[in-house]
Structure 1
Amino acid sequence: MALDLFITFLLLFLNGFFVAAEFAIVKVRAAQVDLKASTGSRVGSVAKHIVDHLDAYLSANQLGITMTSLALGWFGEEVFSEIIIHLFSFFGLNLDPASAHRAAFPAAFGLLTVLHIVLGELAPKTIAIRYPLRTTMAISLPLRLFYLIFAPLIWLLNNMANLLLRMIGIKPTIGHEIHTEEELRLILTESEEGGAIKQSEHELIQNVFEFDDRVVRQILVPRTKISAIDIDATNDEILNLVIDEQFSRFPVYKDNLDNIIGIIHTRDLLKLLRNNNFSGITAIIRPAYFVPLTKRINELLRELQTQHIQMAIITNEFGGTAGIVTMEDIIEELVGEIQDEYDEEKPSVEKKNEQEFVVNAQTSIGDVNDLLPIALPEGPEYDTISGLMNYIFGRIPAVNEKRIFGGYEFTILKRFKHSVETVHMKVVEETREETED
C-alpha cells in the first residue's frame, strides 16, 4: 500500500513537472535564457535549445501531461479506493466488496481530482508563471532527457497537429512570437507604471521607436531662423555676427539664402585672427552638404557620421533653402533638448494654469502634444505651431488675432515678418469657428 501511494504521488509530481515546464518555457523571455547560455552554463545552453525549439518541447510537455494524467486516473483511483475501503472497516462499516467499492469510488474520484487540480495543475502553473526563468532552468535537463527518449513519437504527433492546422488554413508558429512595435510600447508603459524602468528611460526608448519615422522637415531650423554670413559682408560684420550668435558653424551665401556656397567653422576664423591673417573668409569656406526635406533623420545621421559633418543644408522641392539641421538637432530627437552654456533655457510650452498655455510657435506639433491636455491634430500641411497658425488662419496672422481650433482658443502674442513666434492657447469647448481676419 505504501508503495502504491508513493507511485500515485510520484505521478502527481510528474504531472506538475510537465505543467510547470509548459508554462515556464512559454512565459520566459528568450533574452533571459540567451544571457544564461552566454555564460557557458550547460543548463543555460539546454534551456536555450528548448526555447529555440518551442513547438517540439510543448508537444513533449503535452505528451508528458497526457501520459501522467491517464496513469494517475488508472492507478490512483484504485489506490484511493483501497484506502477509503480500509477506512470504512476502521470505523466499523462492514460492507461487501462490491458495495464498498461503489461507495468508495465517488470519494476516491473526488479526492484524486482535487489533488490532481491543486498539486498537479494550479500550484506548478502558478510557480512557473511567477518564476519563469528559475523554473525553466530547473526543468531543462530532465525535459531534454524526456524529449530524447520520446523524440520519434513527439515528432509524429507534432507533424500530425501541424498538418491538421494547415488543412484548416492556419500556419503553425515556430518558437516565440516576435513582438510588434505597439506591443513593445505597451510593455514599456506597463514597465514604467510598475516601477521596473524610470520615466526618463521610458521616454528615451519611445524616442528610439519614433526616430525612424521622422524626416528632416520635422526637426529643421527654419530658414527664418538661420544665422548665415553673406560672402560680401565686411570683416567687422562677420566678426560681430560670430560673436553675437556664438555658433560653431555658419552657412555662407551669395546674394540670398537660396544660394548657399559653403560652411565656415568658427575655429578656422579664430586661427586666421590669431595669425593676424584675416582678410576674408573665402579661404576657409568648406563645402556644404545638401539634403532634401523628405530625407529620414536616421539616414541623415548615418551620412553625417560617415562623412564627419555636423551640419546639413535642407532644400525644398524647388531647390531653395528650407532650413538647416545639425547633428545636435538629430541627437535631441533621442535624448531631448540639449542646453549648452550659450543656450537660453526657454520651455516650448509654458503652463499658466490648467487651462492656459504660452507656446513657442517654432515647436513641432508632436512635441507640444506631449505637454498639452488635449492633443492637437497633426497633418501634412504643417509641422509646427507656426505652420498650424498659417493653416487655420489661411495666412500669417497678426498679433492679437484669435481663432478656435482643436479644442483651444489661439491668440497670437508675437510674430516675426514671415512667421508666428509665440501663441497663447486656452482650452475651450469647440462650439464655433471664429472667422475674424
Structure 2
Amino acid sequence: MISEIIIIFILILINGFLSASEIAIVSSNRSLLSSKPNKAKKSYNLLLDLKDHPNQFLSTVQIGITLIGILIGIFSSGELTQSLSSVLAKSAFLAPFSWHMSVIIVVLCITYLNLILGELLPKRIGLSIPERYALMVAKPIQVLSKIFKPFVWILDKSTSGVLSLIGIKSSKRDITEEEIKALMDEGVSSGVIEDYEYDMMDRLLYLGDKRAINLMKHRSDVDALDVEMDLEEIENYVLENDHTEFPVYQDTFDNIIGVVKTKTLLSKIVKREPLNLKKLCLWAPFVNENASIYQALDEIKESKVQLGVVVDEYGTPQGIVTLKDIVSNLMGPVTGEEKDNQSPRIIPREDGSLIVDGRYQLVDFFMELKMPLTEEQEFQFRNTTTLGGLVFALFGRVPKKGEVIEFGILKFEIFHMDLNRIDKVIVSRPAASSTEE
C-alpha cells in the first residue's frame, strides 16, 4: 500500500512538472528571453525551437499527462483501494458499502492532490516565472518530444485530418494593433510605461496608417517664392512669412524647381547681394500623396531640406509635408511654436464647444478629442486632410455661415467662411450635453 501511495505521489509531481512546463513555455516572452546571459543561450535556442513548433511540444505534454492519468488510475484501483476497503469492512455498519466507499475516497483524495499539486500550483508557478522556468525545462521537454515523436506525428496527422474534414484550416495568427495597445495599457497600469511614453507610442501606431495626403499643408496655404521675384520682393515676403524654408516655383506652383533656406536668403539680403533663386535652390523630394507618413519621412531625411512636395498620381504638386509636421504629430505640438497667430488653433468656449480653424489637420483634431476614426470613416475620407475638408465633404457643397451638420456624436456649425473656403467651425457634442442634463 505504501509503495502505491509513493508511486501515485511521484506521478502527480511529474504531472505538475508537465503542466507548469506547458504554461511557462506558452506564456514566456521572446524579448525577455533574448536578454538572458550568454550561458543560457543553448537553453534559449531549445526553447525557441519549442515555441516555433507548438503542436509538437503540446502534443508531447498531452501524451505525458494522459499516460500519467492512466497509470494513476491503475495504481489507485489496485492494492490501495483494496487495503482501504479492508479497513472499512472492519466496521459492521460500513462493511456492506466498504468497496464503493473506498473507491470514492481514493478517487476524491487523488483528484484533490492532482488538482493542487499536479495542476493549479504548478501552473501558478509557471505563470509567475515563465521565462526562468521555461529555460530550465526546455532540455527535458525537448528530450521527451524526441521520444514521443512517432506518436506526436500520428496525433498531428489525425488532428489535421479531422480539422480538414470539418473545414477548418490551421493558420498562424499575426499579432494585431489592438493587442499591442492592450499590452501598452497593461504597461501603463503597472507603471512600466510612463504616460508620455504611451502617448508617443499611440501616436506612432496611429500615424502608421496615415498617408502623406493626411498630413500635408494644401497648396492654397503654402507660402512659396516665384523664381522671378527681385531682392525687395523676396525680402518683404520672407519677413511677412516666418518659415525656415520656402518652396520655389517657376511660373506656377505646378512647376516647383526646389527649396531655398531662409538663412541663405537673409545672408544675401543683409549684404544686399544680387539674388538668383534658381542657383540657391536645393533639390526637393517629391512624395506621392498615397505614400505612408514614414515613407515620406525617409524621403525627407535623405534630402538636404526639411520638407517634401506632395504630388498626385499625375505628378501635380498638391501641397507640402514638413519634418516639423511629422515630428509634431509624433511628439505633440511644440508650445513655443504653436503661439504663432498663423497656426491653426482650437479655441474652447464657455459652453464646452470649440472654435476650430478649418485648416486644422484631421489627424491632430481627432487625436486632440481622443476620438479615432473608424476604419469605414478613414476609408471614406481617405483623401481629406483638414477639418474644413471633412466638413465640406459632409455637406457635399459650399456651405453657408450658420449651417449645421452632424458627424457621429459631433455637431459641426459653420462659424466663418473665407469666400468658398471653410475658415472656422464650431464643434460641439450634443449627445454628451443632453446626457449630462
CA distance in 2 between counterparts of 1:393 and 1:153 reads: 67
Whether 1:313 and 2:309 are equivalent positions in the alignment is yes
Provide the residue aligned with 2:405 in structure 1. Answer: 404
Instruction: State the alpha-carbon separation in 1 of the partners of residues 144 and 344 from structure 2.
Output: 63
Q: In the aligned structure 1, how far is the partner of 2:293 from the partner of 2:146?
A: 51
Q: How does 1:60-71 map to 2 (within 5 A)?
A: 60-71=60-71
**Structure 1 segment 186-225 matched on structure 2, within 5 A:** 186-193=182-189, 195-225=191-221
- Counterpart AA for 2:217: V
Quote the residue 2:233 is aligned against.
Answer: 237
> Who is 2:366 aligned against?
369
Higher helix share: 2
Partner of 1:51: 51
Conserved? CA contact 2:355–2:426, under 8 Å: yes
User: 1:159-174 maps to which residues of 2 (within 5 A)?
Assistant: 159-173=157-171
> Matches of 1:227 and 1:371 in 2, distance apart?
26
Q: How does 1:123-272 map to 2 (within 5 A)?
A: 123-173=121-171, 177-193=173-189, 195-272=191-268
How far did residue 103 of structure 1 move? 3.8
The equivalent residue for 1:300 is 296
How far 1:229 sits from its partner (Å)? 1.8
> Which residue in the other structure is 2:346 paired with?
349
Write the distance in 1 (CA, Å) between the matches of 2:392 and 2:169: 51
2-structure distance, mates of 1:116, 1:150: 23
> Structure 2 vs 1, CA of residues 427 and 173 (structure 1 numbering), >3 Å: closer, same or farther?
closer
**What secondary structure does 2:223 align onto?**
coil
Moved more, 64-73 or 381-390: 381-390
CA shift, 1:130, in A, is 3.9
Q: Which moved more, 1:315-324 or 1:6-15?
A: 315-324
- Give the Å deviation of 1:54: 1.5
Contact 1:33–1:48, Cα closer than 8 Å, also in 2: no
Equivalent position of 1:105 in the other structure: 103
* Greater shift in the superposed pair: 349-358 or 228-237: 349-358
Structure 1 residue 354: Cα displacement: 7.0
Could you tell me which runs of 5 or more consecutive residues in structure 1 were left unpaired when the two chains were aligned: 431-437
1:358 aligns with 2:380: no
Work out whether residues 37 and 44 of structure 1, in 8 Å CA contact, stay in contact via their aligned partners in 2. Answer: no
2:15 aligned residue: 15
**Rounded Cα–Cα distance in structure 1 between residues aligned with 2:4 and 2:395:** 87
How far, CA to CA, are the matches of 1:389 and 1:124 in structure 2?
59
Separation in 1, partners of 2:70, 2:236: 90
Alignment root-mean-square deviation, CA: 3.5
Indicate which of 115, 118, 127 corresponds to 2:116: 118
Cα displacement (A) at 1:180: 2.6
**The residue matched to 1:370 in structure 2 has which SS?**
helix
Q: Is the 8 A contact 1:402 1:409 kept in 2?
A: no
| 1:13-33 CA distance string (max 9 Å, x none) | 011111122222222233333
Between the aligned partners of 2:370 and 2:324, the Cα distance in structure 1 is 29
Q: Which deviates more from structure 2 when the two are superposed, residues 239-248 or residues 68-77?
A: 239-248
Per-residue Cα deviation, 1:254-303 (whole angstroms, up to 9, x for no partner)? 44433433321123224435665334434312344434433333322222
Tell me the CA shift for residue 228 of structure 1: 1.6
Instruction: Give the structure-2-normalised TM-score.
Output: 0.82
8 Å CA contact retained: 2:214, 2:363: no
Mapped partners of 2:25, 2:79: distance in 1 = 33
| Matching residue of 1:427 | 429
Q: Measure the CA separation in 2 of the matches of 1:112 and 1:296.
A: 61
Shift of 1:362: 1.2
8 Å Cα contact 1:410-1:425 kept in structure 2: yes
Whole-angstrom CA distance in 2 between matches of 1:259 and 1:123? 73
SS at match of 1:36: coil
**Contact residue 80 and residue 112 of structure 1 kept, 8 A:** no
State the 1:194 CA deviation: 5.2
Q: Cα deviations across residues 139-162 of structure 1 (Å, max 9, x unaligned)?
A: 223222322333333333333333
Match of 1:390 in 2: 392
Are 1:286 and 2:282 counterparts? yes
Deviation at 1:316, TM superposition (A): 4.5
| CA separation of 1:382 and 1:67: change in aligned 2, threshold 3 A | same
> How many Å apart are 1:220 and its aligned residue?
0.9
Deviation at 1:40? 4.6
Amino acid at match of 1:402: E
Task: Give, as a single letter, the amino acid of the residue that structure 2 aligns with 1:314.
Answer: V
| Residues 354/147 of structure 1: CA separation in 2 closer, same or farther (3 Å cut) | farther
**Aligned-pair CA distance for 1:214:** 1.8
C-alpha distance 13-350 of structure 1, shift in aligned 2 (>3 A): farther
Change beyond 3 A, Cα 1:271–1:86: farther
SS of alignment partner, residue 321 of structure 2:
strand
SS of residue matched to 1:153 = helix
Secondary structure at 2:302 match in 1: helix
Amino acid at match of 1:421: D
Question: What is the percent sequence identity of the aligned residues?
Answer: 26
Distance (whole Å) between structure 2 residues aligned to residue 191 and residue 306 of structure 1: 35
Structure 2: which 5+ residue stretches go unaligned? 433-437
- Residue 326 of structure 1 is matched in structure 2 by 322
Over 3 Å counting, the alpha-carbon distance change for 1:70 and 1:95 in structure 2 is farther
Size of the alignment, in residue pairs? 425
What is the deviation of 1:324?
1.2
Instruction: Give the counterpart letter for 1:33 in structure 2.
Output: L
Range moving further from structure 2, 253-262 or 12-21? 253-262
Q: Tell me the distance in 1 between the aligned counterparts of 2:86 and 2:67.
A: 29
Match of 2:102, SS state, is helix
Residue equivalent to 1:28: 28
Q: Structure 1 pair 44/408, CA: closer, same or farther in 2 (3 Å)?
A: closer
Q: 2:344·2:360 contact (CA, 8 Å) conserved in 1?
A: no
Residues 86-97 of structure 1: pairs in structure 2 closer than 5 A = 88=88, 93=91
